[in-house]
Amino acid sequence: MDNKILEIFIPGPAGRLEAKYYKSKKSTSPIALVLQPHPQYGGTMNNKVVVETFHAFMENDFSVCRVNFRGVGKSDGEFDNGQGELADAAAALDWLERENFDNSQCWVSGFSFGSLIAMQLLMRRPEINRFIAISPQPNVYDFSFLSPCPSSGLMVYGKKDELVPLEFIKDLDNKLSAQKGIKVEFESIPGANHFFTKSESELTETIIKYIKKETALY
């Protein structure tokens, strides 16, 4: 299956962005963009959680792209505290949409720092109709911009996340569950830490279950 994953370069605002891309054979397949964890803590698009998420979309017939933010891997530029990374994500989504103009659904997903960028992108792009945020950090980043959250989605976190106290996740859950018309599901993986070490398979199962449920509606 891996031989169908292409290494590509996407024109970004700070130069070219290194990315991996899988194109579904189905013409109206949904599309998904998967975003990496924090570049300054060793995060890349080849992070295990990012790769697992990418494969989950791939196996469910999405055209899917994962991208290295500026200054990571072979991507041009340098780290820009989230602003530039958001612009990179927007450029990657533009590219993905041009390649799949007849897509049936548009999803965005991100892990840790990538989940923040994914949620910021969601607020700016009305065509995104589902999201999967993995290990969000509402204790580090302010997620209050998600009021109101424009689309339904899934937030997945480890019950033993050593970087995020549980009450911050519960607080975010309470805020988002009060909204009408959308449903943000919060799923915890028992025993999992922030990086889902030794809990990758449970994480993948949770993601695939949500993807299958939400794509069945279309």
pLDDT single digits (tens) 112-167: 999 999 999 999 999 999 999 999 999 999 999 998 999 999 999 999 999 999 99
Q: Which domain holds residue 84?
A: 2-215
* CA–CA gap between residue 10 and residue 125 (Å, rounded): 19
Total count of domains within the chain: 1
Residues 6 or more apart whose Cβ sits within 8 Å of residue 109:
32, 33, 34, 35, 53, 57, 115, 118, 131, 132, 133, 134
Identify whether 11 is preceded by a cis peptide bond (ω within 30 of 0): no
- Summarize pLDDT for 21-53 with one digit per residue, the tens: 999 999 899 999 999 999 999 999 999 999 999
Confidence of residue 3 (pLDDT cuts 50, 70, 90): low
Question: Encoding tokens for residue 108?
Answer: 């965005």
Taking the whole predicted model, whether its pTM rises above 0.95 is answered as: yes
* CA–CA gap between residue 46 and residue 50 (Å, rounded): 7
Q: Answer whether 168's CB lies under 8 Å from 143's CB.
A: no
Task: Identify the CATH number of the domain in which residue 21 sits.
Answer: 3.40.50.1820
Per the model's pLDDT, the better-predicted residue between 218 and 142 turns out to be 142
Strands annotated E in the chain:
6-12, 15-22, 31-35, 63-67, 106-111, 130-134, 153-158, 184-189
